[in-house]
Every structure is written in C-alpha cells, then in structure tokens.
Amino acid sequence: MTTKTNYGKVVAMLIGLWFVAALTVSALHGFARNPERPPLELLVAVLAPIAIFTTWYLGSRSFQQYILSLNPKTLTIVHSWRLVGIVFLVLSTYRILPEFMALPAGWGDIAIGATAVPAALWLARPSHKASFIVWQVLGTMDLVTAISLGALSRFIDPQGIPTTPMAVLPLSLIPAFAVPLLLILHGICIAQARRWKSEARDIQTATEGLPAV
C-alpha cells in the first residue's frame, strides 16, 4: 500500500510538471515553426513522454504493478472530455485548420468521448474483454490518425491551409500534453485487459480447492 501511495504521488507530480512544461514551452513559442517544414518539435513532445513511460513501465516491476492496479473504468471515463473535439469541426468551418486533418480528428474525438462512459460501465470487465480492447484500439487510432495527418499536412496539401495553429496556445497543449497522456491511458487499459483471462483463471483455480459451504 505504501509503494502504491508513493507512486500515486510521484505520478501526479510528474503529470503536473509535464503540463507546466508544455504550457511554458507553448507560451515561449517553442513549438512555433515555419509552415514549410514538418512539426518536429511537436512530434518530440508527443513521443518523448510515451517513450519515458514505456521505459519506466518495462524497467520497473513495482511501477508496472502500480500501473496495472489502476481502475480501468476511471482511466476510460477520462476520455469523455474528448467531446471537445467539436472545436476541430468549428476551426475547420472557419478555415483555421485543414479539413483533411480537422474533420477526422474532430469526429473521431466526439465518437470516443460520447462512448467513453458506456465503455467504462459496460465493457471494462473480463466478460467483455475483446470489446473493451477494440474500443481502446479505436481511441488510439483516432489520436494516431490526427497526429499523423497534422505532421504530414505539408506533404498532403502544400498549398492548403497550414496546421500551424496547433503549434501555439491553446491548441498546442493538445499534441504537447493531451494526446500523449491519452495514448498512455489507452495503452494501460489494453495491458490490463490482456491480463484479465489469466487472472480470472487463477481465482477460479484458487477457489476450486475450497470446501463447499
């Protein structure tokens, strides 16, 4: 319990520092770039936290146990805030962001946000393991698609509307903080769900040896 509590405090502190760092770099225009070149700074901001988390998860058994002990329902409900993806649709309408990136990102986020609570309440259990994993994969694909289209926008439509607004506040917090955090949450839930069958079997084996009441 002590280790779990300590990890909870450490993780909460790191997430807070991460948000402050993303906000500070954004305020200092650290992600701003020439529209003619790929958004390498934002790509680093997306990939670095995921790489750090994965390295920590794979390298520390105690941290891995803490992560797998988190409530998958809570982690899934967090995605409900993605209903704000409607902002992408609005920005596309006013030609602030290109349609080929904003529309898939917006509708994808809305779909995941609208189904997050039902997925948490009805799918986050061993009996619905496959459906729960599929939902998490779909949420992951939505984020990966949005980031990929944003990164490749210069090559997809060189003369079209640039995605440079995504590199300045407040939109820069989406790729620099929200996207990698949500990808990590999806990964955690998938890792948890993959263990459900074996854990259920272990419980069943343990109870078979108990005397009947």
Mean pLDDT per 10-residue section of the chain, whose length is 213 residues:
76 97 96 79 95 97 96 98 97 96 97 98 97 98 96 87 93 97 98 80 44 44
Domain range enclosing 93: 2-194
Helix (H), strand (E) at residue 36? none
In a domain, 203, yes or no: no
CA gap 19, 129 in Å, rounded:
32
User: Exposure pattern of 44-75 as b/e (b: 16+ CB <10 Å)?
Assistant: ebbeebeeebeeebeeeeebeebbeebebeeb
Q: Is residue 207 part of a domain?
A: no
Whole-model pTM: value is 0.89
Q: What is the pLDDT of residue 213?
A: 39
**pLDDT computed for residue 200 by the predictor:** 46
pLDDT of residue 203: 41
Cα angle 167-172-178, degrees, rounded to a multiple of 5: 145
Query: What's the total number of domains in the chain?
Result: 1
pLDDT at 79: 98
Please check whether residue 200 lies inside any domain of the structure: no
**pLDDT for res 34:** 74
Q: What is the pLDDT at residue 3?
A: 62
Element spanning 30, H or E: none
Residue 201 lies in a domain: no
Query: What is the C-alpha R_g of the chain?
Result: 20
Give a yes or no: residue 44 inside a domain: yes
**Residue 58 domain-assigned?**
yes
Q: What is the pLDDT of residue 157?
A: 87
In a domain, 199, yes or no: no
Residue 112's pLDDT is what? 98
In a domain, 210, yes or no: no
